[in-house]
Chains A and B, each alone.
Chain A
Amino acid sequence: MRFTKDHEWVDLVGDIATIGITAYAAEQLGDVVFVELPEAGRALKAGDAMAVVESVKAASDVYAPISGEVTAVNGELGDNPQTVNDQPEQSGWFVQVKVADAHDVDALMDRAAYESFLATL
């Protein structure tokens, strides 16, 4: 699993990357009440606003950590947005993306690097 400074995680299996927000991000947001996801098939460029995650008092854009095409979105979050709080790095995933270039994922932080990054905040 790889991580970004915007507190997203990316888990690459084959050429499909599963993307979500980290436990740290979920904790900072507080109770998540709604997640707006992109439609399947949308082409994402790294850095695009691909989703919005809302708590009661805040709405945050979630940026695509890598480029690729959305192959699946986590429909479960529509009915149970609290999954993002409960299991942010497992069943609280947001989207799956067919990556354009797997090397993009390698360029992200590993867990140790992400944890050192968190320690600086």
Chain B
Amino acid sequence: MSPVNVGRPTRPLDSVDASVPAPRARGLQQEEPLIFDRGGWGKSGVDFETGGEDLSAPDLAGLERAGPVELPGLSEPEALRHYVRLSQKNHAIDLALYPLGSCTMKHNPRLGEKMARLPGFIDIHPLQPQSTVQGALEVMDTLAHWLKTLTGLPAVALSPKAGAQGELCGLLAIRGAHEARGDARSTVLVPTSAHGTNPASAAQAGYQLREIAQTADGRVDLTDLAARLGPDVAAVMVTNPNTCGLFERDVVEIARLTHEAGAYFYCDGANFNAIVGRVRPADLGVDAMHINLHKTFSTPHGGGGPGAGPVVLSAALAPYAPTPWLVHDEAGLRLEEHSRGEAAASQGRICAFHGQMGMYVRALSYMFSHGSDGLRQVAEDAVLNANYIKARLSGVMSAAFPDGPCMHEALFDDAWLEGTEVTTLDFAKAMIDEGFHPMTMYFPLVVHGAMLIEPTETESRRELDRFCDALLRLAAAVRAGDVERFRQAPVHAPLRRLDETLAARRPRLRWTAPAA
């Protein structure tokens, strides 16, 4: 039941309840309780225009709930304080470098935010008559044109809600193509270094999974691939540039072997930002590739989404793209929302409505801003920045693949920590005390104690140097044997290390009222 605060105060007004620990504030860092701890039961921070309506007697044949949902309310000033205080406990790209390898945390242009909030985009309904949303369809059509031109592939399905859905959608198109020629297949091949969504999507698409071995220099082992290809293999799923931050040198051969076996070549395009404008995946033999708009085209990550994962498709796979399809006809642009007509062979819907329109506008704003020249520069600077970090740190930290350039991310292993009693985790947590977000740790799984650093193209040289200097100072502290500093880290963050074991053993996933 809601603890409703009514009646007289229960203790003298000038006393402090000693049983409650004093909230800790560190300068501008305020401790902030849960909204449920603050009271506000029965309160609302929203006023309504109820003029003339009788709100007392719903016409619902007894299906109305007994009372309001038991949730507290906040006035606007309370809400602002609550969320602003909470926001200050977060790291953000706008604060400092966010070197999460494979996540692509780059600057998010605010123009995209402004454009997505134009009433003509944010305040239109997905099922308005299509004659009244021709501008929205033009956004989709233009975005499709840019994605097709940048990848060299002839078709694109825009609707996948995120990269993982793009993977699934691409695999379902592959399934459709095989089944249409009476050649149903059971298996998808994925390198051991693949991101977890690849095997999970393959399983969700109803395929069995087989892993492909990796060579000592961090690429797909062609001999192993050739041995595993066969009439049961539907697709080979390879990330390129791969999760070790390396370009698959033999990618054309991978595609050739795949096609020779009657399978399709699916490319995980999570790292497209490293090659956009310089390489078209179609020229590598790719049949399908999803593009994380929230990575390459910098729509904000928002603390875990929303993203968008359009998937480009070859001519052979295009007939099996999900609905809706965008088609040109005499009246202008039209969405074919059902599996009929030109979309008769479609795999069907993978979500309601038409996908992530708000993300399309932001991505298109980013594309227009950069243009073909700026996008090429994106790839070059992303790769340059990563190689610069690799060069500066390699003297002290051990690069996992020291020979040759990396692409947009620099991968280190923990060989350089051997014998120091400092782990990758400790080292990464110590970065927090230096004002940086840790790099991606323990991924890819094929590199021991992996540290994957992706600076992106939106970091200045000064910021890259500041970051490298901080890591080199930390590395010097490791060598000096200052193990405690690393074990204890972070000490300057809003909280110390959290007990994840406790969280998992006794899951508390929502607030519950304290026992009376």
Direct contact of A and B (CB under 8 A): yes
Interface residues of A (CB under 8 A from B): 31, 33-34, 54-57, 81-82
Verify if B462 is at the interface (C-beta below 8 Å from A).
no
Q: Which residues on B sit within 8 Å (CB–CB) of A34?
A: 504-505
Verify if B49 is at the interface (C-beta below 8 Å from A).
no
Question: Lowest 5 CB-CB distances: which A-B pairs, in order?
Answer: A33-B504, A31-B501, A56-B500, A33-B505, A56-B504
The B478-501 residues at the A interface (CB cut-off 8 A) are 500-501
11 further interface pairs, Cβ-Cβ under 8 Å (given A55-B501, A81-B505): A31-B501, A31-B505, A33-B501, A33-B504, A33-B505, A34-B504, A34-B505, A56-B500, A56-B501, A56-B504, A82-B505
Separation of A82 and B506 alpha carbons in the complex (Å): 11
Separation of A70 and B182 alpha carbons in the complex (Å): 43
Separation of A31 and B500 alpha carbons in the complex (Å): 10
Separation of A81 and B502 alpha carbons in the complex (Å): 11
Separation of A82 and B442 alpha carbons in the complex (Å): 25
Separation of A3 and B512 alpha carbons in the complex (Å): 45
- Could you show 15 A-B contacts with beta carbons less than 8 Å apart? A31-B501, A31-B505, A33-B501, A33-B504, A33-B505, A34-B504, A34-B505, A54-B504, A55-B501, A56-B500, A56-B501, A56-B504, A57-B442, A81-B505, A82-B505
Q: Which residues on B sit within 8 Å (CB–CB) of A54?
A: 504
Q: Which residues on A sit within 8 Å (CB–CB) of B504?
A: 33-34, 54, 56
Q: Which residues on A sit within 8 Å (CB–CB) of B442?
A: 57
Nearest residue (CB) in B for A31 is B501
* Chain B count of residues within 8 A CB distance of the other chain: 5
Q: How far is the CB of A34 from chain B (nearest CB, A)?
A: 7
Q: Which residues on A sit within 8 Å (CB–CB) of B500?
A: 56
Interface centre among A56, A57, A82 (most CB of B within 10 A): A56
Nearest residue (CB) in A for B505 is A33
Q: Which residues on A sit within 8 Å (CB–CB) of B501?
A: 31, 33, 55-56
Interface of A, helix, strand, loop or mixed by DSSP: loop
Interface residues of B (CB under 8 A from A): 442, 500-501, 504-505
Q: How far is the CB of A57 from chain B (nearest CB, A)?
A: 8
Q: How far is the CB of A92 from chain B (nearest CB, A)?
A: 14
Nearest residue (CB) in B for A33 is B504
Q: How far is the CB of A19 from chain B (nearest CB, A)?
A: 23
Separation of A55 and B505 alpha carbons in the complex (Å): 9
Separation of A33 and B501 alpha carbons in the complex (Å): 6
Q: Which residues on B sit within 8 Å (CB–CB) of A81?
A: 505
Q: How far is the CB of B68 from chain A (nearest CB, A)?
A: 36
Separation of A54 and B442 alpha carbons in the complex (Å): 18
Separation of A56 and B505 alpha carbons in the complex (Å): 9
Q: How far is the CB of B297 from chain A (nearest CB, A)?
A: 31
Q: Which residues on B sit within 8 Å (CB–CB) of A33?
A: 501, 504-505
Separation of A56 and B501 alpha carbons in the complex (Å): 6
Separation of A55 and B500 alpha carbons in the complex (Å): 10
Q: How far is the CB of A24 from chain B (nearest CB, A)?
A: 20
Q: How far is the CB of A105 from chain B (nearest CB, A)?
A: 32
Q: How far is the CB of A120 from chain B (nearest CB, A)?
A: 19
Q: How far is the CB of A35 from chain B (nearest CB, A)?
A: 11
Q: How far is the CB of B209 from chain A (nearest CB, A)?
A: 15
Nearest residue (CB) in B for A81 is B505
Q: How far is the CB of A88 from chain B (nearest CB, A)?
A: 16
Nearest residue (CB) in B for A82 is B505
Nearest residue (CB) in B for A80 is B505
Separation of A33 and B504 alpha carbons in the complex (Å): 6
Separation of A54 and B501 alpha carbons in the complex (Å): 11
Separation of A83 and B505 alpha carbons in the complex (Å): 12
Separation of A33 and B500 alpha carbons in the complex (Å): 10
Separation of A34 and B502 alpha carbons in the complex (Å): 11
Separation of A50 and B442 alpha carbons in the complex (Å): 28
Separation of A88 and B505 alpha carbons in the complex (Å): 17
Q: Which residues on A sit within 8 Å (CB–CB) of B505?
A: 31, 33-34, 81-82
Q: Which residues on B sit within 8 Å (CB–CB) of A82?
A: 505
Q: How far is the CB of B409 from chain A (nearest CB, A)?
A: 22
Interface centre among A33, A55, A57 (most CB of B within 10 A): A33
Separation of A82 and B505 alpha carbons in the complex (Å): 8
Q: How far is the CB of A32 from chain B (nearest CB, A)?
A: 8
Nearest residue (CB) in B for A56 is B500
Q: Which residues on B sit within 8 Å (CB–CB) of A31?
A: 501, 505
Separation of A55 and B504 alpha carbons in the complex (Å): 8
Q: How far is the CB of A15 from chain B (nearest CB, A)?
A: 35
Q: How far is the CB of B382 from chain A (nearest CB, A)?
A: 29
Nearest residue (CB) in A for B442 is A57
Separation of A41 and B105 alpha carbons in the complex (Å): 51
Nearest residue (CB) in A for B501 is A31
Q: How far is the CB of B446 from chain A (nearest CB, A)?
A: 16
Nearest residue (CB) in B for A54 is B504
Q: Which residues on B sit within 8 Å (CB–CB) of A56?
A: 500-501, 504
